[in-house]
Amino acid sequence: MDRKAEALLAREKVIGSRQIMRGFRDGRIRCVLIAEDAEEHIKLELVSQCRLAGVEAVFVPSKEELGRAAGIDVASAAVGIIG
């Protein structure tokens, strides 16, 4: 994972695509980290929403790496950075 992604994960975050979509509706998402090995429909939905909201989407190598970096014990397809 690159340093930019690691720095973003130090900030307040929500984990998982449902929480991220809720954050988009609330206008709280500032950046989304997406695992390259996430299911294609999840990646497409999140990238599309990022474009609509003018939010950066950053891809990271794997769900396992993203989950570990986010401080959880399971893999995660995506993490949204808040605020």
Question: In terms of C-beta distances under 8 Å and separation of at least 24 residues, what long-range contacts does 4-7 make, across chains too?
Answer: 4/58, 5/33, 5/58, 5/60, 5/69, 6/69
> 31 phi and psi, to 5 degrees?
-165, 150
What are the pLDDT digits (tens) for 29-76?
999 999 999 999 999 999 999 999 999 999 999 999 999 988 899 999
Would you kindly state where each structural domain of the chain is located, as residue ranges? 3-82
3: confidence class by pLDDT, cuts 50, 70, 90: confident
The answer to whether the beta carbons of residues 31 and 13 sit under 8 Å apart is: no
Provide CATH code, domain 3-82: 3.30.1330.30
**pTM of the model as a whole:** 0.90
